[in-house]
Structure 1
Amino acid sequence: MTELLFRDDPYQQEAPARVLRHTDEGGVVLDRTIFYPTGGGQPGDSGWLSWEGRRLPVATTLRTSDGAVALVPAEPLALPPPGAEVRQLLDWTRRHLHMRVHTALHLLSVVIPLPVTGGQIGAGRGRLDFDMPDPPGDLAEIEARLNTLIDLDLPVTDQWISDEELAANPGLVKTLSVKPPVGQGRVRLVRIGTPTRQVDLQPCGGTHVARTAEIGTVALEKVEKKGRQNRRVTLVLAP
């Protein structure tokens, strides 16, 4: 299994690692990684691997069928061999945009307190789909409430609970289409605020900024009707 360095420190931009193996599709599996694999609506990270004077661009990062993390090359170049010591370098600009958008979407689910039916994170924009039969009302007012929460500069932290604790608190799960992974004994929760001044608490395996003010100003771009009861709300980060 790959040690997930990004889970303990999402701000880590470089790290050494050792190549464990190659996948049948040509991916590189490391013993430890700063690269986040595609999941939960967040794209896989990109960047570079370097070893012995060589450099391999990484297009994206994926989970393998056995739970490891594979870095997918952007070009058909030579791969570092199993056992090789490599240096990982993250495309930090892209990752940080994902972190800002992901955290903003958590807050969007606070100002629109409806069940979430889907979502997608991009580099500078993202969206949530809600079980929302009727239009959400004054979009400018919702946007203002969202930016007010961001401006509070609340801390963003995580904690772990057991599968049994999650089962006993089903209200923690906001998403209808994607359930948090269970079966490994514990589930990661992401909290915005503090235990005594909590704004949001929900299961999530993605990467987030450390404080909400780091998100910056956001704008709600549009609301689209997607089916009989679903509406898609898209937000963008201010330049």
Structure 2
Amino acid sequence: MNLHFRTLGEGRPFVILHGLFGTSDNWQTLGRRFSETHKVYLADMRNHGRTEHSAAFDYQLMADDIKEFVESENLQDPIIMGHSMGGKAAMQFALQNPELLSELIVVDIAPKSYPPHHDEIIAGLKAIDLASLKSRNEADEQLKAYVPEADTRLFLLKNLYRKEDNTFAWRANLQAVEENIDKLTNNIQLASSFPKPTLFIRGGRSRYIKPEDTATIKEYFPAARIETIEEAGHWVHAEAPEKFYDIVMNFLKQVLDTSIR
């Protein structure tokens, strides 16, 4: 599948992959920072953003999409970074294609299965009456009964857009998400290992990466280091962008310094 993407800056290729219900737009601010030293590729994952929709939706397909993207753009030794769903897809891609990337950065997700926990979000988004919807504020009010957290609603409603006939529609393929949610919360295919430099960044207030996950991370990503931003939750990059940026850039600098020696 051809992923929709935009580029920023020049330099070493740095591919950024968003999470479930996200879009490449979520990474524009940090993308601009990273583009000061790298050529940044902000991609929309399958069934998200401006990438086409498909009924088929799992981590193998997303890993294949990443491979197709890297090869079609002729990216040489790119850095691949993914958040949540994008992080799992990036892990699977790296495990299966270690020769196609130089470093892997995984944001607040572990290589394991998670219990389904998106039921209220999916129900809330589906409950919004797009046919009669007049404004984003009206959508926010309708969603509030299902998702009480204002920042989460703001994030989710970035998927809402106006079509040419001035009616609203979703960027995300809600039907495909709902029908495949078990595949999206299941583990990736763990085979062999990825020996190259890897960084896991977790939020201290998030429950996605727990201390007991370290052994599994090290088993499949033996060169991994794990950094924690204590004040952040699952959306680490949005909640603590300066610390996030510094951790990523320090990691890349240390990798470069080590390779020069």
Give TM-score scaled by structure 1 length: 0.27
Larger Rg: 1
Give TM-score scaled by structure 2 length: 0.25
Higher strand share: 1
